[in-house]
Amino acid sequence: MKTSFMPLVFLCCVGYIQSKPSSQPCPSGQFALKNQCVLCHPTCSECAGHELFECTSCGVDEEGLERFLHQGHCRPHCPRGTYPERARYSCLPCMANCELCVDAHVCAKCRDGYRLFGGICQVALCRVGQVEDPETGECVDCEPGCKSCTPDDPELCNSCTEGYFLYRYQCRRHCPQRTFEDQDRGLCQGCPSQCADCRSSTLCLACQPGHFLHGFDCVKECPEGTFGDGSGWRCQSCHTSCQTCHGPHMRDCDLCPSGTLPVYGQCPVPCQQGQYFDGIDSECHYCDVSCKTCFGPKALDCSSCFTGKCTNN
C-alpha cells in the first residue's frame, strides 16, 4: 500500500497528466518525466522541466500576456542589452555595447563609457566641438566656434576653438567694443573703466568722456606740454615755444618755459645776440648797430651797448 501511494503523490505535485508511450512525444506545454507527460510551469510554452527557469520557448500565457525567452525564463520584459523578438518570442541581444535598443540595428542608449556615433556605440569620447547628451548619451554638436559647451544647452560655450574668443558664453570672431582679445586665453576681456576701447589691459585706444588719451593712457588732466582736445578727447602737444597751453598754436601759450607769462598768448622765441623777438610777425629782427642787445620793438630799444653808452639814453 505504501509503495503505490508515493508515486501518485509525486506525480500530482509536478503536474502529472498521463502516461506516454516511449515512442510518442508529449503534447505542447508538457515535458516527459519517467515515461509520463508532466505540465510545464504556467509561464512556459515549452519546457525541459517543471521549474520556472526550465522554459525552452515562450508565447502568450493564459492571461494573454506576451512572454519572451531569456536564460530559461519566459519574461514579460526583456532585460537591458536585449530586445523582444516577437516572431520567436525571444530576447535577442542588442548591437555591441548598446544598453537599450529597439531592434538589432537601432540603439537608443549606449553602455557607460561608450558614445552613440553614426548609429554605432563607440569607445571614443565626443570630438572637439561636441558634448554628450545627458539623456541619450549621443554626441551632439556645440555652436560654431565652440571647443566645449554645456551638456544641458549646447548653445552655451565654455571655451572656443582657435580664432574665436569667448564672450558671455558665445564664441566670436571679434570682441565687442570696450573689450579686447586675449590671445593666450581665448577670451574677450573688459577694458579698464576709463577706456572706451582698448587693445589690452594697459593699452587704451579711446577714452570715456571726461578723460583724455595720452599715449595709451586715459587721464583726467593732460600733462605739462600738452592740452586736452575736447573734440577727440586726446592730449595734443603744445607749440614748442610754450610750457603750458590751451591750444596747438604759437599764440595759445599759457606759460612760457622761463616761467614768464606770454605776450598776446605768445612766448618769445630765443634770438641771437644783437636780435630781438617781434611778437607781431613771430620773427627775430636785428637791433640797431649801436646796441649789443635790445628788447625791441624798435632798433633803438637797446638793453646794452658796445661802447657802454646807448644812443637812446
Report which of 13, 12, 40 is spatially closest to residue 27, judged by C-alpha positions.
40
Per DSSP, the three-state class of 199 is: coil
Cα–Cα distance, 65 to 25 (Å, whole number): 27
C-alpha cell recorded at residue 105? 540595428
Per DSSP, the three-state class of 107 is: strand
Mean pLDDT of all residues in 237-244:
88
Per-residue confidence at 50, pLDDT binned at 50, 70, 90? Answer: confident
Query: Which residues have a Cβ under 8 Å from the Cβ of 32 and sit 6 or more positions away?
Result: 20, 25, 26, 38
- List, for residues 100-110, the tens digit of each pLDDT value: 998 998 898 88
- Residue 176, preceding peptide bond in cis (omega within 30° of 0): no
- List, for residues 131-190, the tens digit of each pLDDT value: 988 887 778 899 999 999 998 999 999 999 999 999 999 999 999 999 999 998 999 999
- In contact, 232 and 226? CB cutoff 8 Å: no
Type of residue at 182: D
Helices (H), the chain: 2-13
**pLDDT score of 93 more than 90:** yes
Cα–Cα distance, 245 to 169 (Å, whole number): 48
- In contact, 212 and 222? CB cutoff 8 Å: yes
Mean pLDDT of all residues in 294-309:
73
- In terms of DSSP bridges, do strands 302-305 and 291-294 run parallel, antiparallel, or are they unpaired? antiparallel
Cα–Cα distance, 298 to 286 (Å, whole number): 9
Considering 43-52, 76-85, 290-299, the range whose residues carry the highest mean pLDDT is 76-85
Q: What is the pLDDT of residue 227?
A: 92
Torsion of CA 86, 91, 94, 98, to 10 degrees: 130
Cα–Cα distance, 129 to 132 (Å, whole number): 11
pTM of the predicted structure, to 2 decimals:
0.45
Q: Which is more confidently placed, 208 or 298?
A: 208
Considering 75-79, 123-127, 267-271, 278-282, the range whose residues carry the highest mean pLDDT is 75-79
Per-residue confidence at 67, pLDDT binned at 50, 70, 90? Answer: very high
Q: Is 296 left (phi over 0), alpha (psi -120 to 50) or beta?
A: left
Report which of 292, 290, 299, 243 is spatially closest to residue 272, judged by C-alpha positions.
292
DSSP string, 201-246: SS-EEEE-TT-EEETTEEESSPPTTEEEETTTTEEEEPPTT-SEES
Which residue ranges form the domains of the chain, and what is each CATH number?
14-93 (2.10.220), 126-190 (2.10.220.10), 194-267 (2.10.220.10), 270-313 (no CATH)
Q: What is the pLDDT of residue 73?
A: 95
Q: What is the pLDDT of residue 259?
A: 82
